[in-house]
Amino acid sequence: MSALNFSARLINWQGQHGRHDLPWQKTRDAYRIWLAEIMLQQTQVSTVIPYYTRFLERFPTVDALAQAPVDAVLELWAGLGYYARARNLHRCAQVIVADYAGQFPKEPQALAQLPGIGRSTAAAISAFAFGQRAAILDGNVKRVLARCFGIEGFPGSAQTEKKMWSLAESLLPARRIEVYTQGLMDLGSTLCARRKPFCAACPMYAICIARHTGRQAELPMVKAKRVLPERETTLLLLTDGKRVLLERRPPAGIWGGLLTLPECGLAGPAEFALHHGCRLLDTHALPPLRHSFTHFRLTIQTLLCQVEVSASLVSEAGWQWLERAQIETAALPTPIRFLLREMAQDYGEK
């Protein structure tokens, strides 16, 4: 199959059937394109759109984002997951302002050196914002190439990925790189889906090796599943009925920089409450909550602790009493927000 055949089919299809009304399209603003590309990493378009809109309302320019405290960025990111993206987003904005006078570099090689921007994301920004001829290779594109060209091997392996990068670069059209790049994204997100691809409407119907050989379900090859390790933790939910005590996680690691419930240490809830200026009135075990991370599954046991707070309490660094009304807007991990919602509903009126 020739590169011209592939790219021409894709460009024609995108013009007629691709997506043209996404909020980050029809712009050359590198800031808006970069923001969308970072949010879209491992996240569906429908999930990203409301976050994208809120971010631009709060931080309309890269300068505004760079000057904002990281806590404010994390608050708007809460619920979107993969929180390292938010920290890198903030750091990248600061680098753009400090080192590039607020202007994104045009070359994909330069973009790829910035925090949170990998090779594929850099190519997408460069193509959409500056019309640069560069290849993308995210998960959706890997699926399209593996099926259309019959590529064996797990796409995440170094050998197979190297082969795919070489192929992706060889397929680049001489013109209309923006349409071609958007077409790749659209095809992988819509017709060439992971399950039940809609081959009859695909522009590659006549040339796709996977369709000709009936291997759509086999390609791309998947990595052998491994059993995720199980972990367990006990969290303390201290509340006086109106507020809940939270701690700020360290910047790196799981839930980095977010507010979360403290873990129950060896001292126990009564001594913990006393240390934070509270008198423990009652404890109640909530139903266990399971949450899956990339590398492990966590079972969260939660002790709801009704407390009386000292009127002379002075907040320690890293700790915060959160009002019930702030649950929906605070920078909280998804399972912690869920627990606090349950607490507010079940115990807030008692």
What's the pLDDT tens digit per position in 102-132?
A: 999 999 999 999 999 999 999 999 999 999 9
Q: Do 243 and 171 share a structural domain? A: no
Query: pLDDT band at 314, cuts 50/70/90?
Result: low
Q: Do 75 and 198 share a structural domain? A: yes
- pLDDT for 66: 98
Q: Do 179 and 251 share a structural domain? A: no
For 21, the token pair is 């009304």
Q: Is the peptide bond before 220 cis (omega within 30 degrees of 0)?
A: yes
Could you read off the pLDDT of 74-107 as tens digits, one per residue? 999 999 989 999 999 999 999 999 999 999 999 9
For residues 350 and 292, what is the distance between their CA atoms, to the nearest angstrom?
A: 32
Q: What letter does residue 4 receive in the DSSP assignment?
A: H
Q: Is residue 65 situated within a structural domain?
A: yes
Q: Is residue 219 situated within a structural domain?
A: no
Domain range for 147 is 3-213
Q: Do 242 and 175 share a structural domain? A: no
Mean pLDDT, the chain, rounded, equals 93
Residue 47 and residue 80 in contact, taking contact as beta carbons nearer than 8 Å = yes
Read off the pLDDT of each residue in 180-193 and give the average, rounded to a whole number: 97
Strands 230-239 and 297-309 turn out to be parallel
- pLDDT for 253: 85
Query: pLDDT band at 316, cuts 50/70/90?
Result: confident
Instruction: Please count the other Cβ atoms lying within 10 Å of the Cβ belonging to residue 76.
Output: 18
pLDDT of 350 above 60: no
CATH number of the domain that residue 240 is part of: 3.90.79.10
Q: Is residue 318 situated within a structural domain?
A: yes
Q: Do 235 and 165 share a structural domain? A: no
pTM for the full model?
0.85
For residues 241 and 270, what is the distance between their CA atoms, to the nearest angstrom?
A: 17
Q: Do 267 and 200 share a structural domain? A: no
Q: Is residue 261 situated within a structural domain?
A: yes
CATH number of the domain that residue 88 is part of: 1.10.340.30
Q: Is residue 308 situated within a structural domain?
A: yes
Read off the pLDDT of each residue in 173-200 and give the average, rounded to a whole number: 96
Q: Do 287 and 161 share a structural domain? A: no
- pLDDT for 344: 82
Read off the pLDDT of each residue in 45-62 and give the average, rounded to a whole number: 97
Q: Is residue 196 situated within a structural domain?
A: yes
Q: How far apart are the first and last CA of the chain?
A: 69
Q: Is residue 235 situated within a structural domain?
A: yes
Read off the pLDDT of each residue in 260-270 and give the average, rounded to a whole number: 90
Q: Do 116 and 264 share a structural domain? A: no
Q: Do 258 and 198 share a structural domain? A: no
For 236, the token pair is 């303390």
Could you tell me which residues are beta bridge partners of residue 302? 235, 286
Q: Is 236 left (phi over 0), alpha (psi -120 to 50) or beta?
A: beta
- Cα 192 to Cα 189, 207, 292, 294: the distances in Å are 7, 14, 27, 25
Q: Do 186 and 334 share a structural domain? A: no
Radius of gyration of the chain (CA): 24
Question: What one-letter code names the amino acid at 217?
Answer: A
Show which of 178, 213, 248 is a domain's final residue.
213
Strands 259-260 and 243-248 turn out to be antiparallel
Q: What letter does residue 226 receive in the DSSP assignment?
A: -
Could you read off the pLDDT of 132-158 as tens digits, one per residue? 999 999 999 999 999 999 999 999 999
Q: What letter does residue 153 receive in the DSSP assignment?
A: S
Looking at the structure of the chain, the number of domains it has is: 2
Query: pLDDT band at 311, cuts 50/70/90?
Result: low
Residues taking part in catalysis:
37
For 140, the token pair is 């959706």
Closest CA to 51 of 14, 91, 10, 85: 85
Positive or negative torsion for Cα 250, 252, 258, 262: negative
Show which of 179, 213, 247 is a domain's final residue.
213
Q: Is residue 94 situated within a structural domain?
A: yes
User: How far out from the chain centre does Cα 10 lie?
Assistant: 27
What kind and span of H or E run contains 90?
Answer: helix 84-100
Q: Do 240 and 182 share a structural domain? A: no
- Rounded to the nearest 10 degrees, how much is the dihedral formed by the CA atoms of 161, 166, 170, 174? 80
For residues 122 and 151, what is the distance between their CA atoms, to the nearest angstrom?
A: 24
Instruction: Please count the other Cβ atoms lying within 10 Å of the Cβ belonging to residue 285.
Output: 10
Q: Do 147 and 17 share a structural domain? A: yes
Could you read off the pLDDT of 273-309 as tens digits, one per residue? 999 999 999 999 999 999 999 889 999 999 999 999 9
